[in-house]
Amino acid sequence: MERLWAPWRLEYIKSADEDGGCIFCDAAAGGDDAERLVLHRGSHAIALLNKFPYASGHFMVAPVRHVGEYGELTDDEVLELHRFAWAGMGALAHLYGPQGYNVGWNLGRIAGAGVVDHVHLHVVPRWAGDTNFMPVLADVKVLPEHLQETREKLATAWPV
Q: Is 64 within the bounds of a domain?
A: yes
Q: Is 1 within the bounds of a domain?
A: no
Q: Is 60 within the bounds of a domain?
A: yes
The answer on pLDDT for 134 being more than 50 is no
Q: Is 82 within the bounds of a domain?
A: yes
pLDDT in tens, 112-125: 778 889 999 999 99
pLDDT in tens, 23-62: 999 999 989 999 999 999 999 999 999 988 888 899 999 9
Q: Is 2 within the bounds of a domain?
A: no
pLDDT in tens, 99-116: 999 999 988 888 877 888
The answer on pLDDT for 63 being more than 50 is yes
Q: Is 139 within the bounds of a domain?
A: yes
For residue 144, what are the domain limits? 7-157
Catalytic residues: 120
Domain count, the chain: 1
The answer on pLDDT for 16 being more than 60 is no
pTM attached to this predicted model: 0.80
CA of 152: how far to CAs of 12, 16, 43, 157, in Å?
23, 26, 21, 9
Q: What is the CATH number of the domain that holds 116?
A: 3.30.428.10
The answer on pLDDT for 3 being more than 60 is no
For residues 74 and 59, what is the distance between their CA atoms, to the nearest angstrom? 22
pLDDT in tens, 135-147: 544 455 556 678 8
Q: Is 43 within the bounds of a domain?
A: yes
